[in-house]
């Protein structure tokens, strides 16, 4: 299939400039439609706040998954520390945007420390500080752990993320221990999350076009060769790790604002597995794939909710079974894992040309199938 | 081939999106087709004029058992009182997966897509709080069943609770240990990952020390822990006369068994969390003598409603009822009584009716204060004995 | 921070507890290490196989009123078969796929088994059947010891010895070691790699089942998420010792057991941080020895 594609790519060369124009127009039209859609959704015209919330979560998870795509898929360093970075971002952001008197009331078991009570920042600054703090922690953790490789790196980063969670659970005067934080202002509306996701996608996309990005990919493909080419392994791994930490922290901050309540248990290591699932489903190393699969998993999980409350398929009535939704969800996941092992997009990015080729090929295949069917029928 | 399926999956995404946005109308369409043939609580079944009561509970995940016990109570009450204002009541269940993010989304779904009139739940304070904003914004009254943290109802006029609060419970346990048992030295092993237990610990320690007692040992554990030997030995070094164990039922049961295996026979006192059959099941004979401070005693119901609940429960389930089920029963009753009093399902009216409500529930008289918290001044103490909880004592506490 | 100085008796008791915890960890950890050694796969579903083993024994005991030894044997056999089924269904189709796909498949299997357990067995916990033979307490000089504390290390020792014999002295073992070095070459040498892998999974699951039974006797609760914490802790133990090395897994497991018990015993104020100890220990060891205590270099190159 791969060689087919390149041949066709070459055949398409002569008309490339007209395609370019067509693609630009298509992109512009899609963007306009998308913005109109967001506007209508935000105004509550086409979606209720439940639907809007799902779209907001899609944005948040896209950023979280992007952070993992960068370090795992594009740099080839298997890191599972996302949950910890998200926790740092979420806590920092929430504590910065909740008014002091609300915070004081909330810390009813361990009195809040003065500086935590008094710190305040506008929302944009708060999520950026959250991201930067997560990046700083990533920088500090990176020094020891980035020397490790493969599975050992994975377990060490997972370990740090659990250590962060355990510390958050224990320092009650700062984090309100396991009681968690509530009444987090609902600032991150659909525009915030979508624009943040779009900016992060652009950031990673642009980054991958620079010499840094190419260095990341060369490290992923072959560390030894990359080092021989004069690429500083540690510097680049660290850069990727820190940016990934920043993105995770940012997504944590947005998540806190979307959800309104956070507690340490949410940031267990299983959260990192869930994000890893998004990344792998989208295709390791595909930025657009990450976007599509983040939306697919977030919305799909909600869509499957009808399974939990009993339903009927034609004459068969399925009684309500608690947990059926998650069972079906995990079974669907297994199907995708087993049959699309490279994920939805592999390591390719979405392009209009690709889409058209796909449509053409699918059309041709359907025709062939129909023809074959006719022949089969005639033979009988 | 792969490409084709990736397109299919993308289509699925679009359908899913469409499903979210049109979920409401699709449901209505479904209900006209089914026209009330099913009343087993499916979201797609039921009459279009049915009054919808949402069950907002962890049905899967680490707290699934708590959600299950509360749901049992709600369903029993629903089977006894399936109608109000001459309209059928339909239960709509959503699973919050024991996870705050899922809980926030699930709550939005209940009030937006399902448009329920009252919400019951959730187990656990954090999970309840995750839904609080959605309930307040949509002016849907919500009644939590066992979330004991003050933060749940504080500053939210649409959130009510039918159980007592954690500071009250901690004070009751400490008072009983100090005054009735005459304990002067106590230790505590609590679950640090559980918001309620952290709250109980604070008030417990404060009350016990203000009554002249001494805390001689303190240790904590996390949810999912299975080995408590070192915590037990650490607190035992201070030779306490009683050990408080505010923690989840399975962990508490394992901890007590391990203390017995180490040869310690000090008595343990736990909170309402261990007042579930699963605690007795996991702990077996090792937990004999463990005291729990809870909401009500099924063996001696104080109200007619209590007897009704007991009868319904024992004819449906084999085990002895958990206080959580009784509270779930009360929450449902409170909801329909308030709707009845308000004469409408309009959110603000039902909310006002709840504040004005006075009724007898399975766990005793029920009335809400200005915060929406149930006014209770009694804690029932029960003691575990050979796979059963038997009535032990009743403690009255007046805070302040 | 108050440091607690335990009495001699308490200290000895602490050692007994640590030995018992360590030997339970090691039973489960060698299952991880076996699979990793051959396939270079972190079998994230190991904890769920563990959980399934507990349910299996529970249901055989309660539904058929079977005596404990029959239930145990049935449980072990059933779970070994489950291991083969999981391998055939979820890992074999991905034999030539990137390593990460197999890892994700393992996470997928673990979700699937957890959710299956929630649907089939409900979230309400059950009590693991009790067997007085293992659970009775004997008192030696003021120290309380469950018989398990003595029995479990013996079982662990027997299993490790059998495993080492299998790996080092049988034809199957040679095939396993060959496969762990290089799939393709061993295939060329006439080794039926698929069979080797199936057997590896079968043994790994069998070890998880034995571990689960012993674990259930000591900590008698069963619920759908019961395998998560032991799974994670034992995985840490396996990595500590150098994943892929059977001896390393045993050492790592005992080290972890000792640290967890002793730190809480001496510093009860830190008990809230207990879950972090394991990771702190792990990270320190990995920084000094990046492949664990007894890890081999080959593991790094492949990883």
Domain of A257?
A: 52-279+290-305
Q: Does B59 touch chain C (CB under 8 A)?
A: yes
The span from the CA of A331 to the CA of C112, in Å, is 6
Cross-chain residue pair B261–C137, CB shorter than 8 Å: yes
pLDDT in tens, chain B (400 residues): 444 445 454 544 444 444 333 333 333 333 333 333 333 333 344 456 889 999 999 988 888 888 999 999 999 999 999 999 999 999 999 998 888 999 999 999 999 888 999 999 888 888 999 999 899 999 999 999 988 888 899 889 999 999 888 888 899 999 999 988 899 999 999 999 888 899 999 999 999 999 999 999 999 999 888 999 889 998 998 899 999 999 998 899 999 999 998 889 999 999 988 988 889 988 988 999 999 988 888 777 778 898 999 999 999 998 888 888 999 999 999 999 999 999 999 999 999 999 999 998 888 888 999 999 998 877 889 999 988 898 888 888 776 5
- What's phi and psi for A3, nearest 5 deg? -70, -40
What is the CATH superfamily name and number for domain B50-164+310-368? Response regulator (3.40.50.2300)
Residue C183 is predicted with a pLDDT of 82
CATH number of residue A235's parent domain: 1.10.3470
Least confident window among A9-18, A364-373, B366-375: A9-18
| 3-class DSSP state of B230 | helix
CA angle A357, A359, A361 (to 5 degrees): 65
User: How many Cα atoms sit within 13 Å of A6 on the Cβ side?
Assistant: 2
Q: Where are the alpha helices (DSSP H) in A109-149?
A: 114-118, 123-145
Q: pLDDT value at position C2?
A: 63
- Cα dihedral A71, A74, A78, A80, rounded to 10, equals 40
Nearest to C262 by CA among C23, C19, C27, C1: C19
| Residue C146 dihedral angles phi and psi, to the nearest 5° | -75, 150
Q: How far apart are CA B326 and CA B314, in angstroms?
A: 12
B231 has a chain C CB within 8 A of its CB: yes
Tokens 């791969």 correspond to A2
Per-residue pLDDT of chain C (303 residues; tens, 9 = 90+): 567 677 888 888 889 889 889 999 998 998 888 888 888 888 889 999 999 999 999 999 999 988 999 999 999 999 999 999 999 999 989 888 878 888 889 999 999 999 999 989 988 888 899 888 888 888 887 788 888 888 888 998 999 899 989 988 999 988 988 888 888 888 888 889 889 999 999 999 999 999 999 999 989 889 999 999 899 999 999 999 988 888 999 999 999 999 999 888 888 888 889 888 889 999 999 989 888 898 765 444 333
Grouping H, G, I as helix, E, B as strand and the rest as coil, residue B73 is: helix
Under a CB-based contact definition with an 8 Å cutoff, are residues B122 and B96 in contact? yes
* Length, in residues, of chain C: 303
pLDDT for residue A162 is more than 60: yes
d(CA C263, CA A207): 46
Contacts of B113-116 with CB under 8 Å at 24 or more apart are B113/A48, B113/A50, B113/B20, B113/B23, B113/B24, B113/B27, B114/B27, B114/B43, B114/B52, B114/B54, B115/B24, B115/B52, B116/B52, B116/B53, B116/B54, B116/B92, B116/B140
What CATH code is assigned to B166-294+379-396? Answer: 3.40.50.2300
| pLDDT band at residue A15 using 50, 70 and 90 as cut-offs | low
Reply yes or no on whether the pLDDT at A203 is more than 90.
yes
How many structural domains comprise chain A?
1
Which pLDDT band holds residue A16 (cuts at 50, 70, 90)?
Answer: low
3-class secondary structure, A368? helix
Answer whether B242's CB lies under 8 Å from B267's CB.
yes
Asked if pLDDT for residue A256 goes beyond 90, the answer is: yes
Domain with CATH 3.40.50.2300 in chain B: 50-164+310-368, 166-294+379-396
DSSP per-residue codes, A21-72? HHHHHHHHHHHHHHHHHHHHHHTTSSS-HHHHHHHHHHHHHHHHHHHHIIII
ω into residue B220 within 30 of 0, thus cis? no
Partners of chain A (3+ Cβ pairs below 8 A): B, C
Cα–Cα dist A260/C280, whole Å: 32
Please say whether the beta carbons of B3 and A282 come within 8 A.
Answer: no
Which bin fits B41, alpha (ψ -120 to 50), beta or left (φ > 0)?
left
Longest CA span, chain C:
63
DSSP A328-354: HHHHHHHHHHHH-TTTTTTT----HHH
- Contacts with B4 from chain A: Cβ below 8 Å: 358, 362, 365
In a domain, A261, yes or no: yes
pLDDT band of A281, cuts 50, 70, 90: confident
pLDDT (average), residues A356-378: 77
d(CA B252, CA C84): 36
DSSP codes joined into one string, B265-305: --EEEE-GGG-SHHHHHHHGGGGTT-EEEES--TTS-SSHH
Beta bridge partners of B380: B294, B394
**Domain regions of chain C by residue span:** 8-302
Task: State whether B227 and C219 contact (CB < 8 Å).
Answer: yes
Question: Which distant-in-sequence residues (6+ apart) come within 8 Å of C295 by Cβ?
Answer: C241, C242, C243, C244, C245, C248, C289
CB contacts, 8 Å: B132 with chain A: 182, 260-261
| Neighboring chain A residues of C239 at a CB cutoff of 8 Å | 151-152, 155
CA distance B118 to B78: 13
Residue B233 to residue C6, Cβ atoms within 8 A: yes
Q: How far apart are CA B129 and CA B147, in angstroms?
A: 9
Q: Which residues of chain A does B134 touch, with a Cβ-Cβ cutoff of 8 Å?
A: 49
Q: Is residue A131 part of a domain?
A: yes
Tell me which residue in B230, B235, B257 faces C14 most closely, judged by beta carbons: B230
Cβ contacts (< 8 Å) between A169 and chain C: which residues?
Answer: 272
| C300 shares contact with chain A (CB less than 8 Å) | yes
Closest CA to A236 of A251, A220, A247: A220
User: Would you state the CATH architecture of domain C8-302?
Assistant: Orthogonal Bundle (1.10)
Triad A227, A228, A234: Cα angle to 5°: 15
Let me know the angle formed at the C-alpha of A376 by A373 and A378, rounded to the nearest 5 degrees. 110
What are the angstrom distances between the C-alpha of C283 and each of A5, C278, C291, C293?
46, 9, 11, 12
Instruction: Write the CB contacts of B367 (distance below 8 Å, at least 6 apart in sequence).
Output: B357, B358, B359, B374, B375
> CA-CA distances (angstroms) from residue A312 to A132, A318, A320, B114?
50, 6, 10, 18
Predicted local confidence at residue A376, as pLDDT:
59
Which subunits have 3 or more CB–CB pairs within 8 Å of chain C? A, B
Is it the case that residue A5 has pLDDT exceeding 80? no
């Amino acid at each position: 299939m791969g060689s087919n594609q390149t041949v066709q790519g070459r055949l398409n060369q002569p008309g490339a400039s007209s395609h370019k124009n067509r693609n630009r127009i298509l992109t512009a039209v899609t963007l306009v439609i998308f913005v109109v859609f967001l506007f209508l959704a935000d105004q509550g015209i086409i979606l209720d706040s439940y639907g809007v919330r799902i779209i907001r979560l899609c944005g948040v998870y896209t950023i979280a998954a992007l952070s993992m795509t960068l370090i795992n898929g594009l740099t080839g360093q298997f890191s599972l520390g996302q949950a910890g970075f998200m926790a740092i971002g979420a806590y920092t952001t929430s504590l910065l945007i909740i008014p002091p008197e609300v915070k004081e009331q909330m810390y009813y078991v361990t009195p809040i420390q003065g500086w935590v009570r008094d710190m305040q920042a506008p929302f944009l600054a708060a999520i950026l500080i959250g991201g930067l703090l997560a990046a700083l922690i990533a920088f500090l953790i990176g020094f020891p752990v980035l020397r490790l490789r493969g599975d050992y790196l994975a377990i060490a980063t997972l370990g740090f993320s659990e250590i962060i969670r355990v510390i958050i659970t224990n320092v009650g005067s700062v984090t309100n221990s396991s009681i968690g934080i509530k009444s987090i202002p609902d600032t991150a509306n659909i525009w915030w999350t979508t624009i943040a996701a779009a900016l992060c996608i652009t950031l990673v996309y642009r980054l991958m076009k620079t010499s840094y990005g190419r260095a990341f990919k060369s490290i992923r493909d072959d560390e030894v060769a990359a080092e021989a080419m004069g690429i500083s392994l540690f510097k680049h791994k660290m850069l990727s790790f820190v940016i990934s930490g920043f993105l995770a922290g940012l997504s944590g901050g947005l998540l806190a604002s979307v959800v309104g309540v956070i507690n340490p248990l949410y940031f267990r290591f299983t959260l990192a597995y869930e994000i890893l699932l998004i990344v792998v489903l989208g295709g390791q190393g595909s930025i657009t794939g990450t976007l599509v699969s983040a939306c697919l998993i977030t919305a799909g999980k909600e869509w499957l909710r009808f399974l939990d409350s009993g339903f009927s398929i034609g004459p068969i009535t399925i009684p309500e079974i608690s947990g059926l939704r998650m069972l079906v969800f995990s079974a669907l996941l297994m199907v995708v894992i087993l049959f699309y092992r490279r994920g939805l997009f592999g390591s390719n990015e979405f392009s209009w040309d690709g889409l058209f080729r796909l449509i053409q090929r699918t059309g041709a295949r359907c025709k062939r199938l129909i023809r074959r069917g006719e022949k089969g029928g005639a033979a009988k | 081939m792969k490409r084709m399926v990736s397109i299919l999956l993308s289509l699925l995404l679009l359908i899913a999106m469409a499903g979210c946005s049109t979920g409401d109308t699709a449901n209505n369409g479904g209900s006209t087709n089914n026209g009330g043939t099913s009343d087993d609580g499916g979201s797609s079944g039921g009459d279009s004029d049915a009054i919808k009561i949402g069950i907002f509970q962890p049905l899967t995940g680490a707290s699934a058992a708590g959600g299950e016990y509360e749901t049992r109570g709600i369903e029993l009450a629903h089977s006894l009182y399936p109608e109000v204002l001459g309209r059928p009541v339909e239960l709509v269940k959503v699973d919050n997966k024991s996870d705050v993010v899922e809980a926030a989304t699930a709550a939005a779904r209940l009030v937006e897509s399902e448009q329920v009139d009252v919400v019951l739940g959730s187990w656990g304070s954090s999970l309840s709080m995750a839904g609080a904003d959605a309930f307040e914004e949509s002016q849907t009254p919500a009644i939590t069943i066992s979330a004991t943290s003050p933060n749940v109802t504080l500053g939210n006029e649409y959130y009510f609770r039918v159980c007592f609060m954690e500071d009250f419970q901690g004070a009751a346990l400490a008072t009983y240990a100090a005054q009735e048992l005459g304990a002067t030295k106590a230790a505590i092993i609590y679950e640090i990952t559980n918001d309620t237990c952290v709250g109980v610990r604070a008030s417990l320690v404060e009350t016990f020390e203000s009554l002249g007692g001494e805390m001689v040992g303190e240790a904590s554990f996390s949810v999912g822990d299975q080995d408590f030997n070192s915590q037990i030995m650490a607190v035992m070094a201070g030779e306490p006369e009683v050990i408080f164990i505010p923690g989840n039922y399975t962990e508490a049961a394992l901890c007590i068994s391990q203390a017995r295996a180490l040869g310690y026979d000090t008595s343990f006192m736990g909170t309402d969390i261990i007042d579930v059959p699963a605690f007795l099941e996991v702990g077996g004979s090792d937990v004999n003598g463990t005291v729990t401070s809870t909401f009500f005693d099924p063996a001696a119901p104080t109200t007619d409603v209590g007897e009704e609940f007991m009868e319904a429960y024992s004819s449906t389930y084999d085990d002895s009822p958990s206080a959580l089920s009784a509270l779930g029963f009360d929450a449902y009753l409170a909801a329909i009584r308030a709707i009845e009093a308000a004469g409408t399902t309009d959110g603000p009216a039902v909310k006002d009716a709840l504040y004005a409500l006075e009724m007898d529930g399975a766990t005793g008289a029920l009335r809400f204060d200005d915060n929406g918290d149930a006014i209770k001044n009694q804690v029932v103490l029960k003691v575990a004995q050979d796979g059963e909880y038997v009535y032990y004592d009743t403690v009255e506490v007046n805070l302040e | 921070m108050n440091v607690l100085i335990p009495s001699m008796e308490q200290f000895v008791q602490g050692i007994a507890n640590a030995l018992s915890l360590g030997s339970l960890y090691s039973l489960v950890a060698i299952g991880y290490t076996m699979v990793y050694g051959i396939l270079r796969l972190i079998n994230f579903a190991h904890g769920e196989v563990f959980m399934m083993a507990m349910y299996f024994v529970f249901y055989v005991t309660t539904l058929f009123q079977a005596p404990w030894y029959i239930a145990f044997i049935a449980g072990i056999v059933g779970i070994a078969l489950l291991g083969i089924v999981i391998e055939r269904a979820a890992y074999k189709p991905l034999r030539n796929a990137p390593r990460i796909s197999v890892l994700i498949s393992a996470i997928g299997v673990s979700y699937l088994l957890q959710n299956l357990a929630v649907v089939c067995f409900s979230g309400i916990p059950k009590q693991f059947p009790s067997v007085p033979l293992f659970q009775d307490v004997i008192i030696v000089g003021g120290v309380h010891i469950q018989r398990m504390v003595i029995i479990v290390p013996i079982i662990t020792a027997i299993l490790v010895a059998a495993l080492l014999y299998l790996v080092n002295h049988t034809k199957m073992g040679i095939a396993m070691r060959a496969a762990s070095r290089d799939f393709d070459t061993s295939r060329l040498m006439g080794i039926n790699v698929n069979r080797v892998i199936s057997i590896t999974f079968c043994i790994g699951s069998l070890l998880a089942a034995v571990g689960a039974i012993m674990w259930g006797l000591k900590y008698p609760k069963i619920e759908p998420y019961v395998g998560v914490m032991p799974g994670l802790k034992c995985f840490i133990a396996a990595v500590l010792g150098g994943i892929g090395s059977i001896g390393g897994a045993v050492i790592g497991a005992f080290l972890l057991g000792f640290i967890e018990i002793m730190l809480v015993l001496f510093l009860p104020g830190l008990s809230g941080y207990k879950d972090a100890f394991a990771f702190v220990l792990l990270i320190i060891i990995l920084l000094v020895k990046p492949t664990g205590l007894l890890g081999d270099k080959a593991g790094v190159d492949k990883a």
